[in-house]
Chains A and B, each alone.
Chain A
Amino acid sequence: MKKFLNLFKKDIKELVTIQLILPLIIMVAIYGFLGTLVKSETKKAMAPQNVIIVDIDKSSFSTSLIETMKQGNLIPIQSQSDNIENTLNVAKEKNIKVVIVIPKDFGQNVLSFKQPEIQVYSVMNSFSLMSIGQPSVVKGIIQTINNSISSQFIETKFTGIPPEIVKSPITTKDFVMVKGKVAAVSADIVSQAFASQNLIIPIVLAFVIIFSAQMLASLIALEKQNKTLETLLTVPIRRPLIVFSKMLSAGVVALIISVVYLFAMNSYMSGVTGGNIGFGNNNVSTVLKELGMNFTPLTYSLLGLSIFFAILAALAVTTILAAYAEDVKDVQAMLTPLMIFIILPYFLTMFTDPVNLSLPLKLILYVIPFSHPFLATQNLMFGRFSPVILGIIYQILFSFVCIMVASKIFSSDRILTARVKFRKKLFAR
């Protein structure tokens, strides 16, 4: 154990270099900065904004329209002049983004069903949220006013009937049934809730697998490149422990990096979406809980096992591949096929329903050990435990065989004599 810890500490030191830490800090800082920036811009866009009103009509109807705007998210400022061009210049000078023109006879035209126009001028000087958001706020308010006016008209024509019924004589009520449980909610909302709740799992997984595979491969290739491997193989430590130390250190560092990346990304996403996507959204949790689609200790454990064995399988395959790399440059070429096998199930499970895939694609998906955690999330949510358990058993067998092969390579001549010279082969073509 002491010897293993000695090697493990060294392997961690080899991985955690300034070249690794510096980009990580920069990335976290950039994501944090962008998140804060977007958040503050969104906040600004959501805050009540000034709009200039050119009220040419000056009727009681136009006055009531301006009052309604105040109840919305706008601060109407009456223009001193009825000249649109002058008013636009004032708006430009005062950095006011929207000018609303209420035309002459507006009130009268409304009452006589002539559908008058309100002109909305957007003063654009950038494509920021502030610039593009205001006209839609104004249009939203006008929509509300339209609704209110039409309701008034309906009330006068259909006395005693609520205007909403006249406008929509038929309505629907959505229900969703999952695992025999019924909830009064639409399938869209459940699907969105599930996606937003579980968005993070495949991303974490893909990150961890890719990072750890790259780190492990570099670690092994560095031993060869720095010509330290021969010495390491003669020190009194069991060969499987050498393999295990490298796998564990790569896994631990990759996990830490992935967590840092995800927190940085989450802080950015929270800024962009105003907190609708990210860890622990309560509304989402309630919908899923109602349908029994929330994680229980059992489902968490099964998903955890599936993720763990996917990472282990990736590390074991990487160890075998890296044993054939001559130096760190070869590692990238070595890992390309592995990356494809990690990204393929990620996209297949994200954009398709695995059940509806063609048989060859389905077989490919199930044979790839990294697919199973991506599949497990959905299966566990819908109470399909058997495919998850079978997947875990397959992953265990796959990892075990690969680790045996990797340990064999490290205990044989092959670790020193096996070489695949990618660059030379490429140049030879």
Chain B
Amino acid sequence: MFALEVKNLTKSYGSLKALDGASFEINEKEIFGLIGPNGAGKTTALRIIATILSRDGGDISIFGMELGKDDEKIREIISYLPEEAGAYKNLTGNNYLNFMAGFYAKNVEEKRQFVDAGIEIADLGDRLKNKVSTYSKGMTRKILLARSLMMMPKLAILDEPTSGLDVLNSIEIRKIIKDFVKKGVTVLLSSHNMLEVEFLSDRVALIDKGKILETGKPEELKQKFSARNLEEVFMEVVR
């Protein structure tokens, strides 16, 4: 069984076709990167998979559950980190983790475990006692990533996880993601930073104008198109 199976996904905003028959699959416990330029349809695909946007056509199943029929059950096993996400500014870091854990934990003990995991991932020390409104962009992104991963979702959907971060913060976040996959989380991430995706992903899909152009392991794609990196692969594919 695939962790995620997307078949012939279509979505339009008025006359604009955001997704035009996109299909791909993700295996369990792998990092799958959706790469493409801005406006390629990455965020739309991720939002549909995360159950917040409807689709015009196509089928999606997540761990055997059908999107559109089992949305509430799907939301229990996924987590979504939007590209431009924020946290509640009146809450402290600790309160925010507690609040989010409250939606997933079945009991107090489990909630405590989730929050402890979140504290470890965020690694913000005493700053977790401060309000989120006082956090830098990097700190906010870390707490959001901690929120996404702390409850060990079966599928983590991360839209541009290092968006707007400096090199040090980006490296740290990539490391967190890699470590979590070892613990059994499947990750679907999108980025327009192809080098980052190449470093992180087990497999990638190249998307442009709402269509999946190529899917495969970064090494295989590089070999296939005699390219040094995924950026060159992308250039070859869209040519």
Contacts and interface: CB of A to CB of B under 8 A. Distances in A.
B79 interface: yes
A76 B149 CA distance: 87
Interface in B61-101: 72, 75-76, 78-82, 84-91, 95, 99-100
B52 A236 contact: no
A83 to B, nearest CB: 73
A117 interface: no
Interface in B85-119: 85-91, 95, 99-100, 102-104
B90 A230 contact: no
Contact of B90 (A6, A17, A227, A231): A17
A228 B72 CA distance: 19
A413 B181 CA distance: 31
A416 B52 contact: yes
A238 B86 contact: no
A317 to B, nearest CB: 24
A193 B134 CA distance: 55
A233 B103 CA distance: 12
A14 B103 contact: no
Interface string B40-62: 00000001001111100000000
Interface residues of B, number: 31
B88 A230 contact: no
Given A234-B50, A236-B104, A237-B103, A228 B75 contact: no
A226 B88 contact: yes
Nearest to A224: B86
Interface in B142-196: 144, 147
SS class, residues of chain B in contact with chain A: loop
A3 B82 contact: no
Contacts, number: 69
Given A231-B82, A234-B75, A236-B104, A416 B53 contact: yes
Contacts of A226: 86-89
Given A13-B90, A417-B13, A231 B54 contact: no
A411 to B, nearest CB: 9
Interface residues of A, number: 23
A238 B104 CA distance: 13
B103 A231 contact: no
A412 interface: yes
B212 to A, nearest CB: 22
A170 B104 CA distance: 83
Interface string A3-44: 100110010011001000000000000000000000000000
Contact of B52 (A2, A228, A230): A230
A413 B55 CA distance: 9
Q: Residue among A14, A228, A237 with the most chain B CB within 10 A?
A: A228
26 contacts: A6-B99, A6-B102, A10-B91, A13-B95, A14-B88, A17-B90, A226-B89, A227-B82, A227-B84, A228-B85, A228-B87, A228-B88, A230-B50, A231-B80, A231-B82, A234-B50, A234-B51, A234-B75, A234-B78, A234-B79, A235-B104, A236-B76, A236-B103, A238-B72, A413-B52, A416-B53
Interface of B: 13, 47, 50-54, 72, 75-76, 78-82, 84-91, 95, 99-100, 102-104, 144, 147
Interface of A: 2-3, 6-7, 10, 13-14, 17, 226-228, 230-231, 233-238, 412-413, 416-417
Lowest 4 CB-CB distances: which A-B pairs, in order?
A6-B102, A227-B86, A236-B75, A234-B80
